């Protein structure tokens, strides 16, 4: 049984404790302060981190969205932290230097990015602090959430698999789950073992015919996927190096050779968890 006092979610005592905001499209969260160190997660544009201290070009940070701790490039972080007014509703888009389809693109962002509007509008374009101009139908107010995590996850079909990824250009299995539920206003833990033990409630008889539902999670040791219906699994997986959907039971048989049999299934009731601060997310700001 995992305890909430997990090293992955523990920032050392002391330090600067300064709040910083990501101002790059995405920044890798690495295991050590080195550019070629393993990527353990990512922090997306507009998300906030607690900075503990700097070491060279990196800072030891903890993400407020999931408590995950790692090393991020300081060049990707800025202060002060701005309050989000909008969220992105599509898997990926370009931000632009000017309100024009022919303008230079600044960078790519996607679902999970948090935006702060300047109040400026030119035609169908809105301007956002530190980001640039974005067409209005690609964003929504920050407090208006999606209601179907599986529908969000489906938008990532064919997105490449990337260890530690949780953005529009590459994600891993638990990153996909986290982003899908996050778009619905539900905080999900970062890693698959955390999601298996802390997220939702267990479905005891999940193997029985007709028990599984859309948005249920199937959990393995080291892997997780989301159900589109009682028979179809959607997951980002390292075997095919992509995000795909496939029939559940053949997938279970295939995955058994890599991860063993599933350890269980979990059910998350969206309407009950939207906007709720989960007990595992304890942060010392």
Residue 170's φ and ψ, nearest 5 degrees, are: 170, 135
- Residue 1 pLDDT: 79
Cis peptide before 284 (omega within 30 of 0): no
Q: Is residue 132 part of a domain?
A: yes
Degrees, nearest 5: CA angle 70-72-76: 155
User: How many residues would you count in the chain?
Assistant: 285
Of the residues 38, 59, 78, which one is the last residue of a structural domain?
78
Q: What is the Cα–Cα distance from 233 to 240, expressed in whole angstroms?
A: 14
Q: What is the Cα–Cα distance from 25 to 164, expressed in whole angstroms?
A: 16
- Residue 284 pLDDT: 78
Q: Is residue 219 part of a domain?
A: yes
The number of angstroms, rounded, from the C-alpha of 22 to the middle of its chain's C-alpha atoms is: 14
- How many structural domains does the chain have? 3
* Domain identity same for 222 and 180: yes
Output the DSSP codes for 100-139: STTSPEEEEE-TT-EE-EEEEEETTEEEETTTEEEEGGGE
Check: CB of residue 192 under 8 Å from CB of residue 181. no
The CATH number of whichever domain residue 170 belongs to comes to 3.90.1720.10
Category of 211 on φ-ψ map: left (φ > 0), alpha (ψ -120 to 50) or beta: alpha
First to last CA, the chain: 27
Q: Is residue 261 part of a domain?
A: yes
Domain that holds residue 49: 7-78
Q: Is residue 21 part of a domain?
A: yes
**Does the pLDDT at position 14 exceed 90?**
yes
Counting residues of the chain whose pLDDT is more than 70, the rounded percentage is 100
Strand partners of residue 134:
126
Q: Which of 91, 267, 265 is nearest to 180 (CA)?
A: 91
Residue 182's φ and ψ, nearest 5 degrees, are: -60, -35
- Residue 142 pLDDT: 97
* Domain identity same for 128 and 209: no
**Does the pLDDT at position 31 exceed 90?**
yes
Degrees, nearest 5: CA angle 65-112-119: 105
Residue 190: CA atoms inside 13 Å, Cβ hemisphere, count?
Answer: 25
* Domain identity same for 101 and 206: no
Span 95-120, pLDDT tens digits: 999 999 999 999 999 999 999 999 99
Q: What is the Cα–Cα distance from 155 to 109, expressed in whole angstroms?
A: 14
3-state secondary structure of 272: helix
pTM: predicted TM-score of the whole model, two decimal places: 0.97
- Residue 285 pLDDT: 78
Q: Is residue 278 part of a domain?
A: no
The CATH number of whichever domain residue 123 belongs to comes to 2.30.30
Strand-strand pairing, 223-227 and 232-237: antiparallel
The CATH number of whichever domain residue 55 belongs to comes to 2.30.30.40
* Domain identity same for 63 and 110: no
């Amino acid at each position: 049984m995992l305890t909430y006092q997990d090293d992955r979610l523990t920032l050392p005592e002391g330090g600067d404790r300064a709040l910083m905001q990501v101002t790059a499209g995405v920044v890798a969260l690495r295991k050590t302060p080195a550019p070629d160190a393993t990527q353990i997660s990512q922090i997306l544009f507009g998300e906030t981190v607690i900075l503990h201290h700097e070491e060279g070009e990196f800072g030891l940070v903890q993400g407020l969205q999931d408590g995950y701790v790692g090393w991020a490039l300081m060049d990707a972080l800025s202060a002060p932290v701005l309050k989000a007014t909008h969220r992105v509703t599509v898997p990926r888009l370009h931000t632009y230097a000017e309100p024009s389809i022919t303008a230079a693109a600044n960078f790519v962002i996607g679902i999970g990015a948090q935006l702060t509007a300047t109040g400026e509008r030119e035609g169908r374009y809105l301007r956002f602090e530190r980001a640039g101009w974005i067409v209005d139908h690609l964003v929504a107010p920050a407090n208006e959430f999606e209601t179907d995590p599986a529908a969000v996850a489906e938008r990532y079909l064919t997105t490449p698999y990337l260890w530690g990824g949780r953005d529009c250009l590459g994600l891993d299995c638990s990153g996909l789950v986290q982003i899908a539920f996050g778009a619905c206003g539900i905080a999900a833990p970062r890693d698959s073992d955390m999601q298996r033990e802390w997220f939702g409630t267990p479905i005891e008889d999940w193997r029985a015919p007709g028990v599984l539902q859309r948005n249920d999670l199937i959990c393995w040791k080291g892997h997780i996927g989301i159900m589109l219906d009682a028979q179809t699994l959607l997951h980002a997986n390292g075997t095919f190096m992509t995000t795909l959907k496939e029939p559940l039971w053949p997938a279970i048989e295939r995955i058994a050779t890599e991860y063993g049999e599933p350890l269980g299934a979990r059910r998350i009731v969206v309407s009950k968890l939207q906007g709720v601060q989960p007990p595992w997310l304890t942060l010392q700001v």
